[in-house]
Amino acid sequence: MKKQYFINGNIIDPHNTINEFGGLIIGDKGQLEAVGKKVNTNNIPSREKVIDLKGKYIFPGLVDMRVFVGEPGFEYKENFRTLSNAALSGGVTSVVTMPNTDPIIDNVSIVDFLKRRGRDKSKINIYPTASLTKGTEGTNMTEFGLLQSKGIIGFTDGTKTIQNTRVMSRIMNSASDLDTLIMQHAEDYELAKDGMINEGIIATKLGLQGIPEMAELIIIDRDLTLLNYINCRYHISQISSGRSVELIKNKKNNLKFTCGVSINNLSLNENDIGDFRTFLKLSPPLRTEEDRISLVQGLKDETIDVIVSDHKPEDEEQKRLTFAQAATGASGIETLLSLSLELYHNGSLKLETIIKALTSNPAKILRINKGNLSVGNDADFCIVDINKPWIVKQENLISKSKNTSIENKKLQGKVTNTFVKGEELFKLN
Amino acid sequence: MATKSKAIKISQKHLLGIQDLSISDINLILEEASSFINLNKSKNKKLDILKGKTQINLFFEPSTRTQSSFELAGKRLGADVMSMNITNSAIKKGETLIDTAMTLNAMHPDIIVIRHQDSGACNLLSQKVNCAVLNAGDGRREHPTQALLDALTIINRKKKIQGLKIAICGDIQHSRVARSNIYLLNMLGAEVNIVAPSNLMPKEIEKFGVNMFSDMKKGVKDCDIVMMLRLQNERMTSSFLSSNREYYEYYGLTPDKLRYAKEDCIIMHPGPMNRGIEIDTKLADDTNMSVVKEQVELGVAIRMACLKIFCE
């Protein structure tokens, strides 16, 4: 690989607290050699080819902590190849994959397959999780230690929640012994039973069973009570309501844990469901505009650590059904960054806050040396024209499934190039 | 009611819910229905307004009165009526609603009447077929012809709706009848009270512009109409309520509670009734107060009006 020089970019790297105008030098092995304002035409040999970014932004490659890939079992929805192409077009270079496949990732024998497929078919960094319990049934723990040693980054039942408090306490004890990251999708099954959207006026109007916010709150509160007694690496995958933000903010005063939010919950509210738009059937559900504003505020004051795409590809057949029958989830990895930038353009959040929640914060939780532009590291980064207007269209999506929650939405900001280990793997036409 | 004008046309292609209709749409349907009331009492009940038209009744949920009412309405207007009960057909073999819709659409019906257990099923169907779709009840969302026939019944008895005080009592949470009636009665200027135990009260229903009561006596106080809803037995087993007898004690319509309503109050019920659970059996049969039979009778007229208007 030839050495590469980029100049005149706006570099934001929250991990190294870099927010300055400058450039990058990438070495012949795809490592970062120099970053920042010191990289300019004056100190680059004049015979070298230099790429002038003309003020475009450089961010570390995004780390998306919640992604569903269809392999194994649901390859028709998304495979590693289509996922990585979709991710690259959105500036995402590292993903954490959920274990809700068929079979479920719950034993050592399947991890080898997963690692091999991820390595052979994917151009991005794949960090697989395994389930907390066998078959995600919520009863018997998986082998955290053995799975971890095979390369599992963390444990979660993905779309499911550990309901049994005793099981949860034992999971936490094991996680504490083995220094394991556990991630909870917080939803009380009984309170959320048959629920499809936020409980409230919209659910009442549409005649759909509601999911009360307390279904989320009660699991968070329970887990944090356990965490008081059992210290472990605990992460709440996604939260959806203002009350959850409030609870977490209070608990963070004396407990160490982290939490995430889906870009869907940060950008949309229950009104967007309109006339039974099944693409907006999500878990956790979209809630009120007040909840959305509280979530944005939660990011601002660092109550919430990470933004995830909650990328859940579903084929058309699973969505062309009545709302009750339709599958839950939206495809979102391609639009994660652009939709996040909306929060910058409309003045809700600082750019650094957004990038931090998409790069260094998830990397820190996962304990991976990604999501940064540190010298010596793999040059995983994206170049972004943060003002470029574009419109989300299903037919232009790269992901195998087209179930975007923001069809026809006008966005501002688009990834123009994405690099992994110094190699340009995506270039906008 | 305003005099009938030929110039007024319905604003919607489909009848999916009361919430889509304007006041003039509603008046149009009610006027049209009034003209069928006497026809339905006469010896020769058959017209040929819908001669040559095909009406398909697509019922995914068992129904006796609504289905027979729609079937009779179509036949009286001269349409060819086909009723499909889905319990044993392809949909059970894995065919989706959209596939069924496409199949039926290929047979060129002029109108499809659908009842489905899922809210919004009629909306989905209407996006996929070329003909008009009439909602005969979708999940717990809407049952527009029931609300329209209730309105016609009220007008027949009280000569107006504007200014009346109406209590809707019972399982509001799971009731499409309640939702459609709330929209319709509000639009026509009634004051609506909702009476239900908290476990059967939908969240934020007050935002529909109704008064909420968990005490039935307060809820029916000074009302012109008391509309009771059917309570499904499964509400007991899933812990919404403790028992039939306790429900009857607090939310059943009894002479004792009815004393709080106006003296000339009328009692309505969409049927089928659970006597001794939501309503005292003597009250249910009191023809001075209970208009349950009239509701059924006028239901045919309302459905004839809807078929005629939406078929045009």
Q: Which of A26-35, A209-218, B85-94, B214-223 shows the lowest mean pLDDT across its residues?
A: B85-94
Query: What does the block give as tokens for A198?
Result: 């936020």
Superfamily of domain B144-295: Aspartate/ornithine carbamoyltransferase (3.40.50.1370)
Q: Residue A310 catalytic? A: yes
Alpha carbons A157 and A145: distance in angstroms, whole number = 17
For an interface test with B, give the residue of A205, A208, A211, A279 to mutate (most B CBs within 10 A).
Answer: A205
Q: Where are the domains of chain A?
A: 61-366
Residue A45 is predicted with a pLDDT of 86
Is residue A62 within 8 Å of A357, Cβ to Cβ?
no
Q: ipTM for the complex?
A: 0.91
Please tell me which residue in A106, A157, A310, A380 is annotated as part of the active site.
Answer: A310
Handedness of CA B126, B129, B134, B138 (dihedral sign): negative
R_g over Cα of chain B: 19
Question: Regarding the domain delimited by B18-142+297-311, which CATH topology (the fold level of the hierarchy) does it fall under?
Answer: Rossmann fold (3.40.50)
* pLDDT tier, B91 (very low <50, low <70, confident <90, very high otherwise): low
Helical H segments across A252-335, by residue range: 263-267, 289-300
Rounded to the nearest angstrom, the gap between the alpha carbon of residue A145 and the centroid of all alpha carbons in its chain is 25
Note whether A322 contacts B179, CB cutoff 8 Å: no
For residues B181 and A275, which has the higher predicted lDDT (pLDDT)? B181
Alpha carbons A209 and A192: distance in angstroms, whole number = 9
Q: How many CB pairs under 8 A join A and B?
A: 64
Chain B residues in contact with chain A using a Cβ-Cβ cutoff of 8 Å: 19, 96-98, 116-121, 123-124, 138-142, 176, 179, 202-205, 207-208
Cβ neighbors of B217 (< 8 A, separation 6 or more) are: B257, B260
Alpha carbons A155 and A127: distance in angstroms, whole number = 11
Cis-peptide, bond into residue B272, ω within 30° of zero: yes
Chain A residues in contact with B119 by the CB 8 A cut-off are: 206-208, 276, 322-324
DSSP assignment of A109-157 equals: HHHHHHHHHHHHH-SSEEEEEE-SBGGG-SSSB--HHHHHHTT--EEE-
Q: Which of B47-51, B87-91, B212-216 shows the lowest mean pLDDT across its residues?
A: B87-91
Q: For A119-143, write each residue's pLDDT tens digit.
A: 899 999 999 999 999 999 999 999 9
Q: Where are the domains of chain B?
A: 18-142+297-311, 144-295
Neighbours of B310 (CB within 10 A): 20
Alpha carbons B68 and B63: distance in angstroms, whole number = 8
Neighbours of B14 (CB within 10 A): 22
Chain A residues in contact with B138 by the CB 8 A cut-off are: 207
* pLDDT tier, B2 (very low <50, low <70, confident <90, very high otherwise): very low
- pLDDT of B88 strictly over 70: no
- pLDDT of B89 strictly over 80: no
- pLDDT of B235 strictly over 90: no
Phi, psi of B303 (to 5 degrees): -70, -35
Q: How far is A231 from chain B (nearest CA, A)?
A: 37
Q: For A216-248, write each residue's pLDDT tens digit.
A: 999 999 999 999 999 999 999 999 999 999 999
Q: For A108-121, write each residue's pLDDT tens digit.
A: 999 998 988 888 99
- pLDDT of B102 strictly over 80: yes
Is residue A172 within 8 Å of A184, Cβ to Cβ?
no
Sheet architecture: strand order including A306-308: A62-67, A92-97, A125-130, A154-156, A181-184, A233-236, A258-262, A306-308
Please give the helix or strand (H or E) that residue A57 lies within, else none: strand A57-60
Residue B1 is predicted with a pLDDT of 46
CATH number assigned to the domain covering A61-366: 3.20.20.140
- pLDDT of B127 strictly over 50: yes
Q: How far is B97 from chain A (nearest CA, A)?
A: 7
pLDDT more than 90, % of chain A: 94
Chain A residues in contact with B121 by the CB 8 A cut-off are: 322
- pLDDT of A100 strictly over 90: yes
Is residue A183 within 8 Å of A237, Cβ to Cβ?
yes
Q: Is B41 exposed, middle or buried (0-12, 13-18, 19+ CB in 10 A)?
A: exposed
Helix B292-311 × helix B144-158 angle, to 10° = 120
Residue B93 is predicted with a pLDDT of 60
Q: For A40-92, write each residue's pLDDT tens digit.
A: 888 888 888 899 999 999 999 999 999 999 999 999 999 999 999 999 999 99
Mean pLDDT of all residues in B249-267: 97
Mean pLDDT of all residues in A183-202: 97
Residues pairing with A50 in the sheet: A5
Is there a shared CATH topology between the B18-142+297-311 domain and the B144-295 domain? Answer: yes
Please give the helix or strand (H or E) that residue B122 lies within, else none: helix B121-128
- pLDDT of A269 strictly over 90: yes
Residue B7 is predicted with a pLDDT of 58
- pLDDT of A349 strictly over 90: yes
